[in-house]
Structures are given as C-alpha cells and as structure tokens.
Amino acid sequence: MRIMLSGANDIVTDRMRTYTEYKMFTSIARYGALVRAVYVTLQRRGRKREGFLCGVVIDLGRSGQIKIQARGGHPIAAIDRVCERAGRLLSRRDAQSISS
C-alpha cells in the first residue's frame, strides 16, 4: 500500500509527512488487502487561512474509490479526523463484502 501526501510546501514538512503516513497506516492497516494506494492532500481553508482541510482518496482497485474530507484548526487535527473516518468507512465496506 502506498501513501502519498501533497500540499503547499509550508504545510507539508518531513515531520508532517511522517505523521500522516504513520496515522493513516495505523488506521487502515487491517484492510491492507483491499487498499492499493492512499492519496492525501492538505491545504489551508479560506482566504483568511482559518483552518485546514485534509482530503483523502483511497484507491481500492476494481472496487472503486473512497473519498473523504475533514477540517480542523490545525493540520494534525484535520489529519486525525480524516484517518478516523477512513478506518470507519473501510470497516463498513469490509463488513458488507463479508456479509454479501
């Protein structure tokens, strides 16, 4: 599974990249067989720069994609929220594939 982070240079530092990869991996590691790649974008919200928006696209191969967004006052808050949502959505999708 590949995890790629993109965004403005002042937001996406090496430390932020490492944190995002770790947090995303720990959130979705148990669904690694379903996931091909994860694309994460991080950007400032609004003209007055009043928070951050984190978007994620999870590539599931032939099964499609899952798109998620979360906002936070700090980049780490937005990343934490989007990783939590990703784990929940993948658990639902995994439960549906098992029951079908």
Domains and CATH numbers, the chain: 2-99 (3.30.160.100)
- pLDDT tens-digit readout, 36-51: 999 999 998 876 667 9
* Geometric angle at alpha carbon 55, from 34 and 30, rounded to 5°: 25
- pLDDT number for residue 100: 46
Backbone dihedral angles phi then psi of residue 46, each to the nearest 5 degrees: 70, 170
- pLDDT number for residue 89: 92
- Local confidence pLDDT in tens for the 100 residues of the chain: 889 999 887 788 899 999 999 999 999 999 888 899 999 999 988 766 679 999 999 999 888 899 999 999 999 999 999 999 999 999 887 766 654 4
How far is the CA of 23 from the CAs of 81, 83, 86, 98, 100, in angstroms? 10, 7, 11, 26, 30
DSSP 13: -
